[in-house]
Structure formats: structure tokens, C-alpha cells
Amino acid sequence: MPPMPPITQALILINVAMYFLDDLLGGALSMYMALWPLESGLFYPWQVLTYAFLHGSIGHIFFNMLGLWMFGSELERIWGQRRYIEFLGASVLTAAATQLLISMLAGYHNPTVGASGGLFGLLLAFGMMFPERTIMPLFPPIPMKAKVFVAVYGGIELFLGVTGTSSGVAHFAHLGGMLGGWLMLRYWRGQPPFNRG
């Protein structure tokens, strides 16, 4: 197994450190760094990035960091550090914008935390770049092609988001992360809506 590339490694270390620091401070960081709805009176502009470094539970951070390691490591090695950061940034920002919009339309009042928006962007990119690669997800533990895995998870997120089945999970932020990742790949390739002519 090749060593973990530097940005992925740094992101995992920062996320873990932030989780334990927030826990030590009794959640005080979340008051200023979580993504609060625009109308909450607690929103600050930096939250569109800082929310991605906070997590609500051990399980939340474990699965996000596992995904970051699984999908992010290889993409960082292929793209290089600069493109990898640009891609993650686009996914995290688009996830934040989507969540803010949905919170405003649906009247949500809870803050959003987690690297899931960026992770779903990475997942989409992995599926687009290696569609035929077989992967073994933890849930369900069934081998499947990367393109199928992405389609299944995207479909589940859309269903849960529309039906509101799983409250407390920002399903539309996950979809927003996928959208941001898709747009970034289109931009790099000069494809619509980013024609370079």
C-alpha cells in the first residue's frame, strides 16, 4: 500500500484534532465554525469552509475519514496537491451553498457539520475516473463497480433528502458536494457550461 499523500494526511489529522478539541470545549467551536442557516443570526461567512472540519460523533468522523483515505488518496496522487485542494474546495463550498438554500426554503434551524460534502465530491470523481473498478463498501459489503456505487449512493441521498426519512443528516449538502465535484471536472475539461472557445 503506497503511503498516504500529504494533503489527505493533513486533512485527516486536522479533522481528528478539531473533533477532539470541540469535544474538550463542550461544542464551543460549533457555535462559530458550524454552518448555521442564514436567518439564524449565528451565520458567519467563514462557516462555508470551517463546517467541513467539525463532526458530530465518532462514527461520523470515522466514516468520513475512511472515505477520505479510500478515495482522496488516489485522486491526490493523480491530480497533485493543488488540483486536489481546488476540487475539495469546490465540493465543500457547493455543499455549503446547497445546504444554506435548502435550510432557507425548508425552514431548518440546525447547524451543519462534517466533511461529507467534500467526500461525496471525491466519490463522484472516483466513479467518473475509474468507473469499472470494483470496490467493496462497508455498507452493504457487496463488491460493485465504482460507477454503480456512486449511482446507488447518489440515489439514496436524493431519496432520503426528498422524503426527509433520515432527519439530522444533510442529504442535500451531500448532493451539493457531488454537484460541485461534477462542475469542477467539467471546468477542467473545458466542457459545458465552461466551454473554452
Domain ranges of the chain: 6-189
Instruction: Tell me the pLDDT tens digit for each residue of 69-128.
Output: 999 999 999 999 999 999 999 999 999 999 999 999 988 889 999 999 999 999 999 999
Phi, psi of 145 (to 5 degrees): -65, 145
Higher pLDDT, 137 or 3: 3
Rg over alpha carbons for the chain, rounded to the nearest Å, is 16
pLDDT tens-digit series, residues 126-141: 999 999 999 887 777 8
Domain 6-189 has CATH 1.20.1540.10: yes
Neighbours of 160 (CB within 10 A): 16
What DSSP element (H or E) covers 145? strand 144-145
- The reported pTM is 0.92
Residue found by looking up cell 463498501 in the block: 137
Helix or strand run (H / E) with residue 97: helix 81-106
User: 163 φ, ψ to 5°?
Assistant: -85, -15
Helix orientation angle between 81-106 and 6-24, rounded to the nearest 10 degrees: 40
Query: Quick check: helix, strand or coil at residue 14?
Result: helix
Q: What are the backbone dihedrals phi and psi of residue 35, each rounded to the nearest 5 degrees, phi first?
A: -90, 100
If pLDDT is split at 50, 70 and 90, which confidence band does 19 have?
A: very high
